[in-house]
Every structure is written in C-alpha cells, then in structure tokens.
C-alpha cells in the first residue's frame, strides 16, 4: 500500500489524519507502518501519531467512554505471516528511529515488547534487538532504552491481556495465565547467560558509548 497524497499534504490539520487512522480499522496496519517508514515528506507529528497508533494496535488496553469500560485489542487481526512481517518491520523501525525522535523510539520499543509477549514463536526478542544494533552500528542509547522498557511492558501487557480474556471467557483464565507466564520466562529469564554475553560484547564494542545509560528511563 502506498500512502496517498492526503497523508503528505502539509496543509491538512493533524485532527484529520487522526480521524483517518482511527477509523481505518483493520486496514490501518499497513498505513501506520508505511507512514513510519516514509521519508521527510510526512510531517513529524503525523509520524508520532502513527507510532502511537501502532503501539496501541499491537498492545492491549482499556479505555473509558461514557462511563463504559471498553477493551481495544487489535492483534487478532493479523495472520501468522503478517505477524512475522510486522516483527521484521518493527526491528527495521527500531533502527530507523534509534537516534530519535525519542518519543517515536519509545513507542517502537513498547510495540516490540508487546509483540514479543503475544507472538509465541518469537523466542529471541532481546537477541534480535542486540543483533540489529550490532549490525547497523546504531547508538547504544536505543538498546538501553529498549531494555528499560521491556520488563515493565511485558508485565503490564500480561495483566491487561488477562483482563481481556477474563471478560471474554472466565474458563480461559487459568491456561492463558500459564501461557503468559511462560512467555515472560522466555522473554526475560530464559537463555539469560547468552543474552548477557551478547550485551557484554556489545557494550565492549569500540563503537558503543555508555555515557548516556544513566539518562535512560
């Protein structure tokens, strides 16, 4: 899908872009990805909203509308092949925005964490992120930012997904709770020694600057 001239028109107000993306439903997946992948012809505020939209679609969250709790959960719209493509695209976007804007990088990091929690065959999330950092020789700031975000988002995502499942079917809770706990083990503790070695090697690389680690968060 190509972005229409509508999205490149700098005279169109941000609210109009927001309306289009919000009401695109399942069709907004390729739109937000292409917006983020685009060159400078797309305004920064549009890219920021696209990043927020992508994060919200990959994640699972609740909203309060007219005193009614509403659940938003769009991950189920993706096929297995589309999920694999999204994983690759998120890693590409992580590299693309490694040097900023930081607000977009954070949304990409959250999206990767949320996808890792739900994409059950993706068992090398941290290793893959470290690999693209090494391969692309990007700033270490992006890696430390991701590592700061991952644990918080994984645990928060687990809680929210269980809330959704509880609303859908109380009987699913026990088995799904165990599955999500297993995903947390895979993402955060399994192969920890190997991941530590990868991080150590990356930290010792002459291209890596550790001076900004204290500012991550």
The confidence band for 67, taking pLDDT boundaries of 50, 70 and 90, is: very low
Tell which residue, 33, 189, 171, has the closest CA to residue 111. 33
Asked whether residue 104 falls in the same domain as residue 158, the answer is yes
Query: Could you report the per-residue pLDDT of 160-206, keeping only the tens digit for each?
Result: 666 656 665 554 555 567 777 888 888 888 767 777 777 777 677 66
Asked whether residue 40 falls in the same domain as residue 142, the answer is no
Mean pLDDT of 133-151: 87
User: Considering the domain boundaries, does residue 70 fall inside one?
Assistant: no
Asked whether residue 32 falls in the same domain as residue 132, the answer is no
Asked whether residue 196 falls in the same domain as residue 110, the answer is yes
Whether pTM exceeds 0.85: no
Asked whether residue 103 falls in the same domain as residue 40, the answer is no
| Residue 69, pLDDT score | 41
| Residue 112, pLDDT score | 94
Domains held by the chain: number: 2
User: Considering the domain boundaries, does residue 55 fall inside one?
Assistant: no
Mean pLDDT of 134-154: 87
User: Considering the domain boundaries, does residue 174 fall inside one?
Assistant: yes
| More confidently predicted of 195 and 141 | 141
Query: Could you report the per-residue pLDDT of 113-132, keeping only the tens digit for each?
Result: 989 888 888 999 988 998 89
Q: What percent of the chain has pLDDT over 90?
A: 18
List Cβ neighbours of 28 (8 Å cut-off, separation of 6 or more).
21, 22, 53, 57
User: Considering the domain boundaries, does residue 150 fall inside one?
Assistant: yes
Highest mean pLDDT pick, 21-35, 59-73, 146-160, 163-177:
146-160
For 203, other C-beta atoms within 10 Å of its C-beta total 14
Asked whether residue 44 falls in the same domain as residue 90, the answer is no
Q: Which domain holds residue 209?
A: 83-217
Residue 105 predicted with pLDDT over 60: yes
| Residue 6, pLDDT score | 54
Residue 14 predicted with pLDDT over 60: no
Cα distance between residue 182 and residue 187, in whole Å: 9
Asked whether residue 109 falls in the same domain as residue 198, the answer is yes
User: Considering the domain boundaries, does residue 75 fall inside one?
Assistant: no
| Residue 1, pLDDT score | 40
């Amino acid at each position: 899908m190509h972005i229409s001239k509508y999205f490149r028109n700098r005279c169109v107000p941000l609210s109009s872009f927001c309306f289009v993306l919000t009401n695109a439903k399942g069709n907004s997946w390729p739109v937000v990805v292409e917006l983020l992948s685009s060159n400078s012809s797309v305004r920064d505020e549009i890219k920021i909203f696209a990043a927020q939209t992508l994060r919200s679609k990959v994640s699972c969250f609740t909203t309060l509308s007219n005193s009614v709790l509403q659940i938003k959960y769009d991950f189920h719209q993706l096929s297995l092949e589309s999920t694999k493509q999204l994983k690759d695209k998120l890693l590409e976007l992580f590299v693309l925005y490694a040097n900023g804007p930081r607000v977009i990088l954070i949304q990409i990091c959250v999206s990767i964490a949320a996808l890792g929690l739900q994409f059950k065959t993706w068992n090398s999330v941290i290793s893959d992120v470290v690999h693209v950092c090494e391969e692309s020789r990007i700033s270490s700031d992006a890696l430390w930012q991701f590592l700061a975000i991952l644990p918080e988002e994984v645990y928060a995502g687990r809680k929210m997904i269980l809330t959704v499942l509880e609303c859908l079917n109380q009987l699913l809770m026990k088995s799904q709770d165990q599955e999500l706990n297993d995903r947390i083990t895979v993402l955060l503790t399994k192969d920890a020694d190997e991941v530590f070695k990868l991080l150590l090697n990356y930290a010792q690389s002459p291209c890596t600057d550790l001076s900004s680690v204290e500012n991550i968060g």
